[in-house]
Structure 1
Amino acid sequence: MLSSDLESLYLNGRWSVQDSCLCASAPAVSVAFKAVTGEVTFDIEGEARFLFEVDGKPSKYFTVNARKKQKLATPKDNKPHAYRLIKVSESNPGKFCIYDIDLGKKGSFAEKPKSSNRRIEFIGDSFTVGYGVEAKGPEDGTPFEKTNASKSYAFLLAEGFKADYQVNAVSGRGLVRNYANIVPEWTLETLYDYTMMGVPEQDPATERWDFDKFHPQVVVVFVGINDFQGEPPYADAAQYKAAYAKLLDRLRSLHPGVKFLLVSTKTWPNDALTPVVEEIYKEQVAAGHTDLLYKLVYTENTALHGHPSEMSQKELANTLRPLVGRLGGWLSR
């Protein structure tokens, strides 16, 4: 059973560790382990797409729509190899659960992967999720088929810095106002407190996240596209600024010494987001805060439903990398 294997597994992202399973909903959550085995079988329930990696390289994508046992081939050289399962789709709403990781009769777990001394959190929306990134045009496929969180700027940055990470992002949600005012009671401001942000609108009593489980050194905040884009009325600027400042102060309290990168981009139709985020940054600096940087970014939104393409996500990661490195003190010398 999975419970006996937990000490061998290394988790990234917010996970609900239960008696019989591991459950999560965030994009890019991953479970990593080392093992000597000729096969790996995951017993998974939920609707999600996954990438299975062997020794840091993509091995196979697979999809789960209900409960399924997915058997995957591994090197048969009787040597330990590194394995990682990454959730590349989004659960919005929803979750998935892993009930078992079976290595076969002769398989065995090896030494648990080591944690990184670098930790990054990303707070955002569909741009951070990697929504529709694999689409070759605005109407090419569905979000479930074309979203790939392992190709988002967030995952690419975490990988580039070899950092532990959380991608706390939900498509269509704003900090205080969601796109087209969908499910208005479930904004990022509200969802952020939950372990599985895809679950509360189905089950408001679901587990709250324990912030002591992960203390980021850098938080990339890229929120507000849905607050100020599409059909009006948009978010009230004063309410948005107050919620943003409250979030920063709360994170400072939860994670002493944390640094922030505030990110903005052009929104349609009247580019209302950037002036507000610039004001927030200037007000933070005027208040004496020296723990944050600001960056305006531009993306080529040629993928699904006007979202960044694979190339644009790579360029976004490259643009933000030196700023994240500066904040984390991770720049190579």
Structure 2
Amino acid sequence: MNPKQFLTAAFVLAACVYGGAAMPDSFEDSLLLNGRWAKADSCLCASAPAVSVSFRANAKEVSFDIEGEARFRLDTDGKPGEYFTILGRTVQKVALAKDGREHLYRLVKVSESNPGKICLHGIALGKGGSFGKRPEPSRRRIEFIGDSFTVGYGVEANGPEDGTPFEKTNTAKAYSFLLADGFKADYQINAVSGRGLVRNYANIVPEWTLASLYEYTVPGSIEQEAGGADQGPKTAGIRWDFEQFHPQVVVVFVGINDFQGEPPYADAVQFKRAYAALLDKLRSLHPGVKFLLVSTKTWPNDALTPVVEEIYKDQVAAGHADLLYRLVYTENTALHGHPSEMSQKMLANDLRPLVARLGGWLSR
């Protein structure tokens, strides 16, 4: 194998490994990562929707050594490309452009891992292929904190019972990814379906609300944290290092699961306290960050919006001028009553000028 044909994730914080020989260039000189990634047992592991790996290469094919269960899309020069599905550890080969030129590739995990993970063990190019210079990070950085609406849960379904969440979820078609991609921004989509800020839908796994999951790079389970489960590379319990990514804009779209479905719902006072604490935490972690607070109608009694509106008014009254608020409406005709592809596009279009205003991003 040509020494430039193989890139392993084993030295994520140290050196690239080409054909078994350590090279002096750092890992960052080859791959651009978006989303939360962790090094564990000589691989790169992630859980969040839409985590991605970007690289430049001149090659006729590429193979990804991936472990886990997830759907992926490989984009070329910013254009959506081929989808493939991984079930277990697989070396997935994908044909590339055969024009003899270098292209920018991006591997995106479009499905959700709730609460599982995927591990990238390596990337190999075909005969004669070579990696190019690492893609440059964007000067724009955006984070999304949310639930299934932000994940793009079931977005590809043609009706409420069309398929399964694994088959029909595609975060690359969610408003969050569409906004980040449209602004050509580096991003994190820290969202988990069915979870609320203080109360999950139907009170499922009450110990793992968004507030608790948010602290981790790869959320695991109580058993994993206690060391009682053996599920591959040990990532549970690894907390996210917030110094790794400083967003300029954070879109907060939380609370649907706190106030929707069967009662009892979240306590409004507790929710408001937790919401304000999250904003204060983010201000402390990322000085100068701006916020877009988003709310929508919840079933059956539309209990979320009045609470978020109060939070926004309280923030303004307290002297905070770093946030905007938006009430949005969606057409929930996709899987299990979630926004359709068209609705996600409309949602992105609705929020785009507000994000641009907050970030000072007047052009793409």
Query: Is TM more than 0.5 here?
Result: yes
Q: What's 1:61 paired with?
A: 83
Q: Distance in 2 between matches of 1:206 and 1:62?
A: 29
Q: What's 1:328 paired with?
A: 359
Task: Please state how far the C-alpha of 1:201 moved relative to its aligned partner.
Answer: 4.4
Equivalent position SS for 2:104:
strand
Task: Please state how far the C-alpha of 1:23 moved relative to its aligned partner.
Answer: 0.5
State yes or no: 1:89 paired with 2:111. Answer: yes
**What is the aligned counterpart of 1:229 among 256, 260, 272?**
260
**Which runs of 4 or more aligned residues in structure 1 lie more than 6 Å from their structure 2 counterparts after TM superposition?**
none
State yes or no: 1:183 paired with 2:184. Answer: no
State yes or no: 1:203 paired with 2:194. Answer: no
State yes or no: 1:29 paired with 2:60. Answer: no
- 8 Å Cα contact 1:299-1:316 kept in structure 2: yes
| Aligned pairs (5 A) from 1:205-220 | 205-220=236-251
State yes or no: 1:279 paired with 2:310. Answer: yes
Alignment root-mean-square deviation, CA: 1.2
How many pairs are equivalent?
A: 332
- 8 Å Cα contact 1:93-1:201 kept in structure 2: no
Q: What's 1:306 paired with?
A: 337
Q: What's 1:293 paired with?
A: 324
Q: What's 1:42 paired with?
A: 64
The residue type paired with residue 274 of structure 2 is: A
Task: Please state how far the C-alpha of 1:19 moved relative to its aligned partner.
Answer: 5.3
Task: Please state how far the C-alpha of 1:331 moved relative to its aligned partner.
Answer: 1.8
Q: Distance in 2 between matches of 1:308 and 1:93?
A: 22
The residue type paired with residue 349 of structure 2 is: N
Task: Please state how far the C-alpha of 1:206 moved relative to its aligned partner.
Answer: 2.0
The residue type paired with residue 102 of structure 1 is: A
Q: Distance in 1 between matches of 2:41 and 2:310?
A: 47
- 8 Å Cα contact 1:194-1:200 kept in structure 2: no
Q: Distance in 2 between matches of 1:69 and 1:37?
A: 17
State yes or no: 1:130 paired with 2:161. Answer: no
Task: Please state how far the C-alpha of 1:58 moved relative to its aligned partner.
Answer: 2.2
Q: What's 2:228 paired with?
A: none
Q: Distance in 2 between matches of 1:84 and 1:100?
A: 14
Which runs of 5 or more structure 1 residues have no equivalent in the other structure? none
Deviations 1:128-176 (A, max 9, x none): 0000000000000000000000000000000111000000000000000
Task: Please state how far the C-alpha of 1:70 moved relative to its aligned partner.
Answer: 0.3
| Aligned pairs (5 A) from 1:111-126 | 111-126=133-148
**What is the aligned counterpart of 1:246 among 267, 270, 277?**
277
Equivalent position SS for 1:48:
strand
State yes or no: 1:255 paired with 2:277. Answer: no
Deviations 1:207-240 (A, max 9, x none): 1000000000000000000000000000000000
Q: What's 2:165 paired with?
A: 143
Task: Please state how far the C-alpha of 1:18 moved relative to its aligned partner.
Answer: 3.5
The residue type paired with residue 67 of structure 2 is: E
Equivalent position SS for 1:114:
coil
Task: Please state how far the C-alpha of 1:54 moved relative to its aligned partner.
Answer: 1.5
Task: Please state how far the C-alpha of 1:202 moved relative to its aligned partner.
Answer: 5.1
Deviations 1:159-203 (A, max 9, x none): 111000000000000000000000001000111000013x24452
The residue type paired with residue 233 of structure 1 is: P
- 8 Å Cα contact 1:45-1:96 kept in structure 2: yes
Q: What's 1:18 paired with?
A: 40
- 8 Å Cα contact 1:131-1:143 kept in structure 2: yes
The residue type paired with residue 253 of structure 2 is: F
Task: Please state how far the C-alpha of 1:60 moved relative to its aligned partner.
Answer: 0.9
